[in-house]
Structure 1
Amino acid sequence: MATTRYVHATRGVRSGQFDTPAKAARSVGAALRAASDGDTIVILDAATYAEGELVIDRPLTLTSAYLQGHPNADPSDPRFDPRLLPALAPAPRARQRVLRVSGKPDHKLGPVVISGLRVVQGHAVHRPGGPDPALGAGGGIAVVDADDVRIERCVVTGCQTECAPFRAWPEPDRRALRQDLVDLVDVLVPASAEAALNNLIKLANILIANLPGRVPAIPLFDRAALKTMISAEFDGLIPPGHPIMWLAGQAFGGGVAAVWSSLTLRNCRIQGNRAEGRGSGVAVVGYGWPTVDNCWIDGNRSGARGRLDGGGIGAEICLPGKLTRDLSELELIMFLRGKAAEVRARLASAGLPGPIDLMRFAVWLADPTQPPVITDNVRRLALFLINGYRDPEQLVKQLFYVFSTTALALARWDAWNEPEIKAARTRSITVKGGRITGNECGDDGGGLYCSVMSRISVSGCRFERNSAPGAGGGARLTMGSAGTITDCVVDRNVCGTRPGVAMSKGRPASSIVVGGVTITRPAKPPEPISTPGGGGISVRNGDLTLTGTTVGSRPLGNLTSDHPGGGVLVYADTEGDMGGVPDMWTAILREVFEVRAIRVSIGPASRITGNGAGFLRGGAPVGRPMFAKGGGVFILRGTFPDAPDIEVSITDVRSTVRSNTARVSSYVSRVAPRVLIKAANEICIQDLKDHKEWTETNNAPLIKGGTLRWP
């Protein structure tokens, strides 16, 4: 039979059953130790209980007498005084989490209810290989392997997480991966085929000599020179001592973290927390799909290190469930290295390209702004091996990418659990009602950040005054994630707040003699590049559906500095490197998550208005902007061959996207040469593959019945 147990800081006793108010426990920890399954623990006063980490590992309720007497008290209301609630805190001067609800992977704990409490000054620390099942996540509250958990009408404030320092690549492992790539030369072009290949190259050069224009001859294949060049380029991309980041949610969730948990967070205030990981306010780690109902997530900030995305909420769901939970980039890279023999066996059957392939590829290398003539990764890699002297950096990136995609195609279910991935395609985090305000991250997603195929459904919520130095002032979705945003307001968020303009890597001039041909690589100066913007919402390789949602307001809505997409930015391209390994995230996106296309739908009753590209925080204009296009909406299809296709639909586009401002105007398109673009205030669509650019001044062919559809 369930028992009610009581706690009082000054009138409590030190031992007993604590089952009457007159003989209450003096500490919360003592009451938890006395409790049985199904019990209720009631804190009678509003004192601060500074104890060690409190652990709930059985079904029970932890609440306060104040909430029992005021069941409609709402800490998510800014007018509510949190001091009315009792507070749980770590022991004095201790770096400890305040509260952990802890189940087991094979036995989900519940029901657990935590209500009517303050959780303050927690400090969770990630200690690699340590006993903490939450991996340092959840500075205030961590819920681990427990779905039937409700945290209601609580305040979590002043808590933080601390990430373990990043390690460096162990030099033997780095050299072993370099050798794996070098060995692919012998696999794709075996010594027995070298003479035949050079005969094909000679034939291709005869054909090339008869082509119009100045198409360079292809040098004869030189195995030793190629291997030396690959090793040197590898060391440039991943030099000795390259840092390795944590991957699996370590130190996420400054306030609250759901770790493999589908908890419910209702009518809570999550305010003023810090995280050296994603989700400074609330984090979702692993295969759980929590509900955040009518909460106020406010004023949370990133810490000094870690994966600093998601000032308000951060989600990272589709982790490789068959690998260790305390995962870093190195463990995942070494997992793929363990498949090297299988990769070599698979690639050995690729076969040599023919002379026509060689000729076409040489033509493409002479003008790489055109789409690749060979879209099959393995055949293109073989061609890069032959022609790669001209661009060894791209050659090594191709080697990495083909190695990664082949290994994952062969062994993805050796690392990920197929049922978990299937569940992630259909289930969503739910955020309804409430406000996400004034949060700030250290990278992307000021209010919200979702990665690794984390789906989220948001309704009736306000994203306001959040900021990100990178992409997505209000929200950022990436790597196969999907956001359905209904009846929301996304307003006065800013992104791109890093000072200055990012620059690409330059390189000095160089030359190499291969097969009697001198290959000259001209100097490449650094060029200004634009970090993707999206003052309100930024999406990379993910889905976005807006219904009945307002993005921006007049006269000054969401802003991005010298970046595109004041209101909304969507693009498809590579996902970037992992631990220095180029495009490895894209290999996972394609081979594990199977993302081949992304869909953008801006639907009925949505409004994108009053946003600006080319403005600093507060509305001051950027001087001489270069990239500030698409004040309302910016959509980009990049050149990466395996990037997802994009499908865009904007209903009643002329009234849906209006009164936005982009400070770059009257420019000659760099995407579509010789096309003059008069204005890109409302919409800018750039297709780098097909060399086309549309804005509101020339997009009439894309509009049918008032709806813009692209492609």
Structure 2
Amino acid sequence: MAGTRYVHATKGTTSGSFDTPAKPARSVGAALKAAAAGDTVVILDAATYFEDELVIDKPLTLTSAYLQAHPQADPSDPRFDVRPLPTLAPKPDAQHRVLRVSGAPGRPLGPVVVSGLRIARGRAVHVPGSADPALGAGGGIAVVDTDDVRIERCVIAACRTQSAPLAAWPEADRTALRQDVVDLVDTLVPPFAEVVLNAAISAANTLIRNLPGGIAPIPSFDRNAVKTIIGREFDTHIPPGKPVNWLAGQAFGGGVAAVWSSAVIRNCRIQGNSAQGRGSGVAVVGYGWPTVENCWIDKNRSGDQGRLDGGGIGAEISLPGRLTRDLSEVDLVRFLRGKAAAARSALASVAMPGPIDLMHFAQWLLDPAQPPVITDNVRRLMVFLPTGYRRPELLFRELFYVFAATALALGRWDAWNEAEIKAARSRSITVKNAVITDNVCGDDGGGVYGSVLSRIAVTGCRIEGNSAPGAGGGVRLTMGSAGAFTGCTITRNVCGTRPGVQMSKARPAWSLTVGGLTITIPAEPSRPVATPGGGGISVRNADVALTTTAIGTTPGGPTGNLTSDHPGGGLLVYADTEGDMAGFPDLWTTIQHEVFEIRDIRVTVDASCRITGNGAGFRAGPTPVTTPLFAKGGGFFFLRGAFPDAPTPQVSVTDVAATVRGNIAQVHPYESRVEPHVTVRASHDVCIQDRKALKEWTETNDAPLVKGGTLRWP
């Protein structure tokens, strides 16, 4: 039969069963140890309890007498006085989280309720190899490997997480991977095939001589020169001593972390927490789909290192469940290296490119900003090998991408669990009637961030006043994730707050001998790069559905969401590569394509939505950016990139003229970077750039895309 245990800081004792209010425990930890499964532990006073890390590993309720007497008390209301709630905190100078609710894989606890408490000043520290099943996540509360948990009517404040220092890459691992990549040259073009390849190059050069445009002939294939190029580029991307990055949720969730858990967090105030990982307020790690309801998530901010996305909420669900949970990039690369022999075998019988392929590819290399002439990964790599001296970085990127994609295609279910990925495609995190305000991240997603096939359903929420130095002042979704926003207001968020304009990396000139010719690879100066924007919402390779949702405020602003010298004041969506993973070219894209099988993305905006009053080319204030370069699409900006394995966007904006209006983009008129020799008069409301079709559409010329008032693209 379930019983009740009592706690009182001054009237309590140090021993006994603590089962009457007259003889309570002096500490919460003692009462939890005495409690049996199904018991309720009640804190009778409003004292501060300085405790060791509290662990709940049985079904029970931990609550306060105050909440029992005031069951409708609502800490999520800014007017609520938090002082009557008892406070749980670490002992002075201790570095540990406050509370962990801990099950085990396949062995959930049963019902656990934590309610009516203040959780303060916790500090969860990620220590590799430690016994902490939460990996340093959840500075205030971590819920691990159990679902039937409710955290209700609590205040979680001033907690933090700390990630482990970044060690240097083991040189043995780095050089072994380097050799794997360089040796692919011998796999793809074995010595006996050189004659065939060089004959094709000779025939291609005959064709090239008859072409206009000054295309340089292709030198004969030189195995050692190609290996030199690849080795040099490898060392540029992954140099000796490169820091190892953590990948799997370590130190996420400054306030609360659901780690392989579908906990419910309801009517809580989560305020002033910080994290050296994603989700400074609330984090979701691993295969769990929690509910966050009626919460106020406010003024949380990133720490000074780690994966600094998601100032309010951060989610990273679809991790490689068959690998270690304490995953670093070295662990993932070691897995890929374990598939290297199988990858080489799969690539060993690739046909040599023909003269026509080589000729067209040599033309394309003069302007790689154009859509690629060959979209099959392996065939494209084969024509890169003899021509890649012109674009060494592109050659290396292509080689590494094909290596990683082949390895993952052969062994994805040796790293990921197929059943877990299936669940991740169909289940969603629920965020309902929450207020997400004034949070700050260190990278992307000031208010909300979802990555790695994380789906999130957001209903009746206000996402306001958040900021991100990178993409997505209010919301950032990426890497096969999905967001459904219904009845929400997303306004006064700001992104792109890093000072100045991001620049590409300068590369010095260097020379090598290819096919008996000495060729100089020209220097590449640093140059401005358009980084992603999205003041309200930024979406990369993810789905987004907007229903009865306002992005921005009064038309004619900019008083709504802002992005500095970046596109997409209100909404940005782009389908392209996921970019580098800590130096590894397009490795995130490989996972997205081969494991998550993301082939297209869907963007829908219904007629009850409003994207108004947003600005591109403004800093908070709003203050116009001086001489902006990339501030286009004040309302929305959609981009389809040229990366061959990028998903295909499917966009529908209902009643676009009424839905998207009254926004401002600072750059106008401008010469299109996508559609040659076209001057774009304005893109205040709409900007669509299609690098595959070489077209740019704005509100000045989008009539062909609008049928019955609905904009559909492509």
Q: Give the TM-score band, short-chain normalised.
A: over 0.9
Asked whether the equivalents of residues 229 and 392 of structure 1 are also in contact (C-alpha less than 8 Å), the reply is yes
Match runs of 1:561-580 below 5 Å: 561-580=564-583
Displacement of 1:368 in angstroms is 2.3
Asked whether the equivalents of residues 277 and 307 of structure 1 are also in contact (C-alpha less than 8 Å), the reply is yes
Q: SS at 2:419's partner residue?
A: helix
Asked whether the equivalents of residues 467 and 494 of structure 1 are also in contact (C-alpha less than 8 Å), the reply is yes
Q: SS at 1:58's partner residue?
A: coil
Q: What does residue 636 of structure 1 align with?
A: 639
Aligned letter for 1:655? A
Displacement of 1:416 in angstroms is 0.3
Q: Distance in 1 between matches of 2:318 and 2:339?
A: 21
Q: Distance in 1 between matches of 2:375 and 2:665?
A: 35
Displacement of 1:382 in angstroms is 1.0
Q: What does residue 109 of structure 2 align with?
A: 109
Q: What does residue 144 of structure 1 align with?
A: 144
Aligned letter for 2:573? V
Match runs of 1:310-709 below 5 Å: 310-554=310-554, 555=557, 556-709=559-712
The count of corresponding residues between Structure 1 and Structure 2 is 711
Q: Distance in 2 between matches of 1:434 and 1:572?
A: 29
Q: Distance in 2 between matches of 1:51 and 1:367?
A: 64
Aligned letter for 1:365? L
Q: SS at 2:700's partner residue?
A: coil
Q: SS at 2:684's partner residue?
A: coil
Aligned letter for 1:538? S
Q: What does residue 8 of structure 2 align with?
A: 8
Q: What does residue 289 of structure 1 align with?
A: 289
Q: What does residue 95 of structure 2 align with?
A: 95
Q: Distance in 2 between matches of 1:438 and 1:499?
A: 20
Aligned letter for 2:143? V
Displacement of 1:688 in angstroms is 1.6
Q: SS at 2:365's partner residue?
A: helix
Q: Distance in 2 between matches of 1:140 and 1:113?
A: 15
Note the alpha carbon deviations across 1:373-410, whole angstroms, 9 max, x for none: 21111111111111111111110111110010000000
Displacement of 1:364 in angstroms is 1.8
Asked whether the equivalents of residues 75 and 82 of structure 1 are also in contact (C-alpha less than 8 Å), the reply is yes
Q: Distance in 2 between matches of 1:248 and 1:522?
A: 39
Q: SS at 1:215's partner residue?
A: coil
Q: Distance in 1 between matches of 2:582 and 2:533?
A: 24
Residue 254 (structure 1) aligned with residue 254 (structure 2): yes
Q: Distance in 2 between matches of 1:245 and 1:368?
A: 31
TM-score, scaled to structure 1: 0.99
Q: What does residue 299 of structure 1 align with?
A: 299
Asked whether the equivalents of residues 96 and 122 of structure 2 are also in contact (C-alpha less than 8 Å), the reply is yes
Displacement of 1:518 in angstroms is 4.4
Which sits farther off after the overlay, 58-67 or 201-210? 201-210
Note the alpha carbon deviations across 1:257-286, whole angstroms, 9 max, x for none: 000000000000000001010000000000
Q: Distance in 2 between matches of 1:378 and 1:386?
A: 14
Asked whether the equivalents of residues 242 and 580 of structure 1 are also in contact (C-alpha less than 8 Å), the reply is no
Which sits farther off after the overlay, 493-502 or 205-214? 205-214
Q: SS at 1:22's partner residue?
A: coil
Q: SS at 1:384's partner residue?
A: helix
Displacement of 1:256 in angstroms is 0.3
Aligned letter for 1:327? L
Q: What does residue 38 of structure 1 align with?
A: 38
Asked whether the equivalents of residues 390 and 519 of structure 1 are also in contact (C-alpha less than 8 Å), the reply is no
Q: Distance in 2 between matches of 1:124 and 1:703?
A: 52
Q: Distance in 2 between matches of 1:570 and 1:124?
A: 35
Q: Distance in 2 between matches of 1:510 and 1:152?
A: 62
Q: Distance in 1 between matches of 2:666 and 2:362?
A: 39
Q: Distance in 2 between matches of 1:553 and 1:199?
A: 64
Q: SS at 1:563's partner residue?
A: coil
Q: What does residue 242 of structure 2 align with?
A: 242
Q: SS at 1:49's partner residue?
A: strand
Q: Distance in 2 between matches of 1:524 and 1:305?
A: 30
Asked whether the equivalents of residues 196 and 352 of structure 2 are also in contact (C-alpha less than 8 Å), the reply is no
Displacement of 1:350 in angstroms is 1.1
Which sits farther off after the overlay, 186-195 or 454-463? 186-195
Aligned letter for 1:594? E
Q: Distance in 2 between matches of 1:185 and 1:678?
A: 48
Q: Distance in 1 between matches of 2:569 and 2:366?
A: 36
Q: SS at 1:84's partner residue?
A: coil
Displacement of 1:676 in angstroms is 1.2
Name structure 1 gaps, 5 residues minimum: none
Note the alpha carbon deviations across 1:650-672, whole angstroms, 9 max, x for none: 00000000000000001111211
Q: SS at 2:632's partner residue?
A: coil
Q: Distance in 1 between matches of 2:579 and 2:167?
A: 20
Aligned letter for 1:595? I
Q: SS at 1:253's partner residue?
A: coil
Displacement of 1:358 in angstroms is 1.6
Displacement of 1:464 in angstroms is 0.5
Q: Distance in 1 between matches of 2:247 and 2:591?
A: 14
Aligned letter for 1:562? D
Asked whether the equivalents of residues 336 and 407 of structure 2 are also in contact (C-alpha less than 8 Å), the reply is yes
Residue 273 (structure 1) aligned with residue 276 (structure 2): no
Q: SS at 2:483's partner residue?
A: strand
Q: Distance in 2 between matches of 1:465 and 1:371?
A: 38
Asked whether the equivalents of residues 330 and 579 of structure 1 are also in contact (C-alpha less than 8 Å), the reply is no
Q: SS at 2:147's partner residue?
A: coil
Asked whether the equivalents of residues 613 and 661 of structure 1 are also in contact (C-alpha less than 8 Å), the reply is yes
Identity of aligned residues (%): 71
Which sits farther off after the overlay, 417-426 or 7-16? 7-16
Note the alpha carbon deviations across 1:67-125, whole angstroms, 9 max, x for none: 11101000000000111111111112101110000000021122000110110010100
Asked whether the equivalents of residues 207 and 359 of structure 1 are also in contact (C-alpha less than 8 Å), the reply is yes
Q: Distance in 2 between matches of 1:528 and 1:569?
A: 19
Q: Distance in 1 between matches of 2:123 and 2:50?
A: 13
Q: SS at 1:343's partner residue?
A: helix
Name structure 2 gaps, 5 residues minimum: none
Q: Distance in 1 between matches of 2:299 and 2:228?
A: 52
Asked whether the equivalents of residues 372 and 642 of structure 2 are also in contact (C-alpha less than 8 Å), the reply is no
Residue 221 (structure 1) aligned with residue 221 (structure 2): yes
Q: SS at 1:519's partner residue?
A: strand
Aligned letter for 2:438? G
Asked whether the equivalents of residues 599 and 647 of structure 1 are also in contact (C-alpha less than 8 Å), the reply is yes
Aligned letter for 1:530? A
Q: What does residue 199 of structure 2 align with?
A: 199
Q: Distance in 2 between matches of 1:83 and 1:603?
A: 44
Aligned letter for 2:294? N
After the TM superposition, list the runs of 4 or more consecutive aligned residues in structure 1 that deviate by more than 6 angstroms.
Answer: none
Q: Distance in 2 between matches of 1:398 and 1:540?
A: 21
Aligned letter for 2:414? D
Asked whether the equivalents of residues 319 and 452 of structure 2 are also in contact (C-alpha less than 8 Å), the reply is yes
Residue 154 (structure 1) aligned with residue 157 (structure 2): no
Aligned letter for 2:677? R
Q: Distance in 1 between matches of 2:519 and 2:644?
A: 26
Displacement of 1:508 in angstroms is 3.1
Q: Distance in 2 between matches of 1:226 and 1:79?
A: 67
Asked whether the equivalents of residues 216 and 366 of structure 1 are also in contact (C-alpha less than 8 Å), the reply is no
Q: Distance in 1 between matches of 2:447 and 2:88?
A: 26
Displacement of 1:515 in angstroms is 1.5
